[in-house]
Amino acid sequence: MDEPSISRLAPERAPKQGQACPTTRADRALVLYVEHFEEIALGFRAGVYRVPSSTGAATYTVLLLPRPCCSCPDGRGGECKHVLVVWVVLKHTDPCSGCGRRFRHRELTEVPEDSLTWFPGDRLCQSCIVAHGGIS
Ligand SMILES: [Zn+2]
Ligand SMILES: [Zn+2]
């Protein structure tokens, strides 16, 4: 898989509101990340990402496998900003072992070694922990 250079795509480099309009594809991807992180991360299901357009008027479908592509007009080559923002979301999240949705690393809790319900090393989101009455 040809992962773009993610170091150029650090969210802290996203253009701030009031600064000049984002001009590069990477800038526009970072703006999407900052504004729509929750929707993109929590909307992940079975290998499919749903990414809102910059205007919010449409939602595009992004797949990374078997090769990156997006349902937007520029997306067939897998190099549009929607594919880029999915790479950034991937880098900053991990899947919950319970529900499979993606969360920021700090929002997941690692299962202890002596768990009866989960495999040690599994990581769970808060909703899954609550739904199972705790993590043991
Ligand atoms: Zn796209
Ligand atoms: Zn979960």
pLDDT for 79-89, tens place per residue?
899 999 999 99
Tell me if 136 is assigned to some domain: no
Model confidence at 32, in pLDDT bands (50, 70, 90)? very high
Tell me if 88 is assigned to some domain: yes
Claim to verify: residue 23 and residue 73 sit in the same structural domain: yes
Claim to verify: residue 74 and residue 113 sit in the same structural domain: no
Instruction: Check residue 93 and report its DSSP letter.
Output: E
Tell me if 22 is assigned to some domain: yes
Q: How many separate helices (H) and strands (E) can be counted in the chain?
A: 3, 7
List 95's β-bridge partners, or say none: 102
Claim to verify: residue 20 and residue 78 sit in the same structural domain: yes
List phi, psi (to 5°) of 90: -60, -40
* Residues 39, 86: Cα–Cα separation, whole Å: 11
Q: How far is the CA of 40 from the centre of ligand 2 (A)?
A: 15
Least distant ligand from the CA of 71: 1
Q: Is this model's pTM higher than 0.85 or not?
A: no
Tell me if 48 is assigned to some domain: yes
* Residue numbers of the domain that contains 86: 10-92
Least distant ligand from the CA of 86: 1
Q: How far is the CA of 76 from the centre of ligand 1 (A)?
A: 8
Q: How many domains does the chain have?
A: 2
